[in-house]
Structure 1
Amino acid sequence: MKITEIEMNVLESPYDYGVADGDSDSRGPKYAFLLRVRTDEGIVGIADCDSHPHIMKAFIEAPSYLKAFSEGLKHAVIGENPFEYDKIWSRMYRSSYYQGRRGAALHAMSAVDIAIWDIIGKASGQPVSVMLGARRHERIKAYASTLFRNTPEAMKEAVRKYRALGFRAMKFGWGVVAEDPRRVVALVAAAREEAGDEMDIMVDGMWTPDVKLAIRLTRELGQLGVFFVEEPLHADNLEGYRKLAGAVDVRIACGEQLAGLYEYEQLLREGDVDVIQPDLSRAGGLTEARKLVTRVELAGKLLIPHAWTSDVLTAASLHLNSYQQHPVFQEFCTNDTPLSRDLVVNPLRLEPDGHLQVPSSPGLGVELNEEVVQRYTIDKLAVRA
């Protein structure tokens, strides 16, 4: 089997990012990037990528600048056997040396890698979790992932909504809290009052440069029983994370902005956070994340994948969770937008007890809704050998 083509779609949502007054939920990113990797046997792998779509497209289609050293990813992928995923990953990494090889280059590599694992599963008649080496879990507890509401009453209303949908855990992030971190305690207190003790609550996106403020607010959030506090500091502030993690009893989470094992190993070594949060579409795909699982387990930490796009990325993350020895949560983005809700014909469904089934069909186990993809596509390109 050989890879013959990479097809890319840039999609645009009719909505802007955020939660406007009167909206039932967050609207999610303005754009989406979908990728298909085609083979000479007619098997097609799919992926989406939580990065800037126009930049991802450029990283893949770019012509050769220095052969096998600085060129578009298509040169490293087309003509290769998808079952040699490690070889392909290394070729992509080497071909990105002069494009930065981390950051956006790894984001584009991640999308290609996820699609390759989808091919491997489909060609083998097995779900991706089995092909990773272990399908240890069939169901993963989900948490509703959404943006902070502006008032305590709106927070209570959101809790009622997610409880009614079946969620037993939820995470509020960014929005007004990123603008003013000091508002976080009152808003979370309202959510806890409505949720009682039966629901897990997580907090995201205070993103302050002030480590002492982060310590004080995190301690107060600890009194409200939050499961973790995610990215209270900027992701590069590793010394700040070490100080924060050592000063509080609450779990500290970080990692969605990182790319590749080098950066995660640095986070483990220098930041000493409790929860590692790779986004598969930025962290290096399943090939890199599979290795990261082992690193995190050996360090005695938790790995909870970040997933904030469509059911394609969520499905990939579920397979990684299934592979783990001790998975904790699956992030389930609640964005009320077609680029999150309508991109697949077999959307993931929350079970009554707040869990998601790990897809059991070959590959990722979800298939694109081509009519929806075409409706929102604003740019499309297929590259071949």
Structure 2
Amino acid sequence: MKNPSQKFVEKLGLKDPEADVQREPAAKENERRNFLKKAGLGGMMLGGFMFSSIEDTLAQSTSKVNRNSAPSDLKITDMRYAVVMNGHARCPVIRIDTNQGIYGLGEVRDGASWRYAMFLKSRILGMNPCSVEQIFKRIKQFGFHARQGGGVCGVEMALWDIAGKAYNIPAYQLLGGKYRDKVRLYADTPEGNDEADFAARVNKRINDEGFTFMKMDFGIELLKGIPGTTSNSNFWDIGRQWTNEPMTYGGTEHPFTQVQITDKGLEIMTQRIAMVREKIGYEIPLASDHYGHFDHNNAIRLGRAVEKYRLAWLEDLIPWKFTDQWRQISEAIETPTLTGEDIYLKEEFIKLIDAHAVDIVHPDLATSGGLLETKKIGDYAEEKGVAMAMHFAGTPVSFMANVHCAAATQNFIALEHHSVDVDYWTSLVKTKKPMIEKGFANVPDAPGLGVELNEDVVKKHLDPEHSAYFAPTTDWDKERSWDRLWS
């Protein structure tokens, strides 16, 4: 029977000089010396092997192996942030550190405050980041719809990044595995200075950049200052959709403006769609967005007027919360309806789906609850025969979180890429393979989210008002209150 040292020698693929008893003493001694050199363990260490158990031998021989982590012993030790400019939008990126040197990256939704995330720091310090759902249930009460959900979602992204690194697997695998190796993207149709310039830009989108799915805006902002195109625009400034001051057009929910579109206005709006359809053809799906603020009756009127252009969907015609009005719109028109980018958590999506109010749900992962909650939304929608597209407008950190979720969700259609024309966008991070190729995102096989920040580039594009790069945040370490929601 072979002793442990003989088994170990054979495992290394070396010849034991003691086994050849016929060799000359001098030759045996030379062979012994060569053996020790090849083993690379040193005479003293090998001597220890010869008189140790298999368990001790293996422990000693692997003592210098780099173990990424001991997941059950991981603890959150810190959370910091850096506010990155993604074009004109502020995008707070957070970093959660642990006691084992592993860290995770997440992102608060574009345009939101980093405070939504930092408020959560004192509530997660000391917890095991691999207990993602436990931490999510602890903090989800502090999120809400639209940008207010960004902090909870950013933390959830970072936790999956840590968990994947701890177990050395990509995040999608922790969600149950992937359905696809590439994620289809959709991009905005670019604007041009004139029709020829527009045609050239569209050609670049399709032929050079390779996008197979497009979206356009054609709202009543186009009608500003054109007599006879809208009613009640003598009171509301229909060109100020993106304001948010109280009692302004932009800050008033759609049903309460009572703006109406005339036949002349509809004709101008549909002419814009016709121009885009002429340039891209009908083979490529064309979705639409940003119509302005008018009620569900005018939404139906608009929907019927554009049916011949076979749009992929009409997005956010009215606020998502008016479920009954959404159902009336969807039942009255043929073009698919879609909403959801400002909904936090699955419960409100379930209401829309159960009421058959929309044809497609459209969560933004940085608002809807993060990777797992968004997958739950997609899975529920799938059971009810509803598809899911995904809204996104942030840095590559949040983008890759979306890619993992989209890869793991069967009823997924396409993911928005809102930064095609931001020239430094892809260089904000480092990845093992290109993030995007010909209109599709590559699903990474690297651990966690599969992305690391390119520090030099990120530092060049920090928000001038918040130019610190992951500075200490000790002021948030002990900000506590009695948070339990039940007695």
How does the TM-score come out when normalised to structure 1?
A: 0.83
**1:191 pairs with 273, 276, 290, which one?**
276
Give the Å deviation of 1:370. 0.8
Q: Does 1:169 align with 2:216?
A: no
Please state how far the C-alpha of 1:52 moved relative to its aligned partner. 3.3
> What SS does the aligned partner of 1:32 have?
strand
SS in 1 for 2:446: coil
Counterparts of 1:103 and 1:307, CA distance in 2: 12
Across the aligned residues of Structure 1 and Structure 2, the Cα RMSD in angstroms comes to 2.6
Partner of residue 8 from structure 1, selected from 76, 81, 95: 81
Q: Is structure 2 residue 121 aligned with structure 1 residue 74?
A: yes
Distance 1:270 1:246, change over 3 A: same
Aligned counterparts of 1:271 and 1:89: Cα–Cα separation in 2: 29
Structure 1 residues 170 and 285, CA gap change in structure 2 (3 angstroms): same
Give the structure 1 partner of residue 27 of structure 2: none
Where does 1:307-326 land on structure 2 (aligned, <5 Å)?
A: 307-326=392-411
Larger Rg belongs to: 2
Give the distance between the partners of 2:186 and 2:360, measured in 1 at CA: 15
Distance 1:282 1:126, change over 3 A: same
In the aligned structure 2, how far is the partner of 1:254 from the partner of 1:31?
23
* Partner SS, residue 106 of structure 2: strand
Q: 1:237 to 1:196 in 2, by over 3 A?
A: same
- For 2:181, the equivalent position in structure 1 comes to 138
2:152 matched residue in structure 1: 109
* Contact kept? 2:90, 2:110, Cα under 8 Å: no
> In the aligned structure 2, how far is the partner of 1:93 from the partner of 1:49?
14
Distance in 2, matches of 1:238 and 1:298, equals 19
| Residue 112 (structure 1) shift | 0.5
Q: How does 1:217-236 map to 2 (within 5 A)?
A: 217-236=302-321
The runs of 5 or more residues in structure 2 that have no matched partner are 1-73, 223-237, 240-260, 478-487
Q: Do 1:335 and 1:341's aligned partners in 2 also have CA atoms closer than 8 Å?
A: no
- Return the offset for 1:366: 1.7
User: Per-residue CA shift, 1:68-109, capped at 9, x if unaligned?
Assistant: xxxx21122111111111110111124x3xxx7555542210
3-state SS of 1:106 partner = helix
Q: Give the secondary-structure state (helix, strand or coil) at the position aligned to 2:96.
A: strand
Pick closer, same or farther for the CA change 1:216–1:163 going to 2, 3 Å. same
Change (3 A) 1:382 1:222: farther
Among 112, 123, 130, the residue aligned to 1:83: 130
Q: Does structure 2 conserve the Cα–Cα contact (< 8 Å) formed by 1:141 and 1:328?
A: yes
Deviates more, 1:136-145 or 1:174-183: 174-183
Name the amino acid aligned to 1:326.
N
After TM superposition, the structure 1 stretch with the greater mean CA deviation from structure 2, 358-367 or 138-147, is 138-147
Distance, in Å, in 2 between the alignment partners of 1:383 and 1:120 is 23
Compared with structure 1, are the counterparts of its residues 149 and 230 closer, same or farther at alpha carbon in structure 2 (3 Å cutoff)? farther
Deviates more, 1:329-338 or 1:315-324: 329-338
Task: Tell me how far apart the structure 2 counterparts of residues 91 and 105 of structure 1 sit (CA, whole Å).
Answer: 16
Q: Which stretch has the larger CA shift, 213-222 or 310-319?
A: 213-222
Q: Is the 8 A contact 1:309 1:340 kept in 2?
A: no
Higher relative contact order (CA 8 A, sep 6+): 1
Distance 1:10 1:356, change over 3 A: closer
- Closer/same/farther in 2, CA of residues 150 and 297 from structure 1, 3 Å limit: farther
Shift of 1:240: 2.2
Task: Tell me the secondary structure at the aligned position of residue 368 of structure 2.
Answer: coil
> Where does residue 351 of structure 1 map in the other structure?
437
The secondary structure found in structure 2 opposite 1:342 is helix
Kept in 2, the 8 Å contact 1:33–1:48? The answer is yes
* Farther off after superposition, 40-49 or 338-347: 338-347
| 1:30–1:140 distance in 2 versus 1, CA, 3 Å | closer
Question: Which residue, out of 158, 162, 172, partners 2:201?
Answer: 158
Look up the match of 2:382: 297
CA–CA distance in structure 1, aligned partners of residues 184 and 117 of structure 2: 35
Question: Matches of 1:214 and 1:111 in 2, distance apart?
Answer: 34
Q: How does 1:24-35 map to 2 (within 5 A)?
A: 28-35=87-94
User: What's the counterpart of residue 382 of structure 1?
Assistant: 472
Shift of 1:263: 2.2
User: Closer, same or farther in 2 for the Cα pair 1:77/1:147, shift >3 Å?
Assistant: farther
Alignment of 1:235-246 (within 5 A): 235-246=320-331
What is residue 44 of structure 1 aligned with on the other side?
A: 103
When structure 1 is superposed on structure 2, of 179-188 and 242-251 the one drifting more is 179-188
> More deviation in 229-238 or 298-307?
229-238
After superposition, the Cα gap between the structure-2 partners of 1:162 and 1:287, relative to the gap in structure 1 and judged at 3 Å, is: same
Q: Residue 93 of structure 2 aligns to a residue in which SS?
A: strand
| Higher mean displacement: 132-141 or 144-153 | 144-153
What TM-score, normalized to structure 2? Answer: 0.67
Residue segments in structure 1 that go unaligned for 5+ positions in a row = 14-27, 62-71
CA contact (8 A) 2:153 2:365 kept: yes
Partner residue in 2 for 1:328? 413
Question: Contact (CA 8 Å) 1:242, 1:272: kept in 2 or not?
Answer: yes
Q: Deviations over 1:303-323 (max 9, x none)?
A: 111111122222111111111
Q: Is the 8 A contact 1:145 1:334 kept in 2?
A: no
CA contact (8 A) 2:117 2:154 kept: no
Matched, 1:286 2:371: yes
- 1:44 Cα deviation after fit: 1.3
Query: Which residue matches 2:349?
Result: 264
Which residue number corresponds to residue 21 of structure 1? none
Tell me whether 237-246 or 330-339 shows the greater mean CA deviation.
Answer: 330-339
Question: Partners in 2 of 1:107 and 1:75 — Cα distance?
Answer: 17
Cα-to-partner distance string for 1:41-60 (whole Å, 9 max, x where unaligned): 1111112232434x3x2233
Between the aligned residues of both structures, percent identity stands at 27
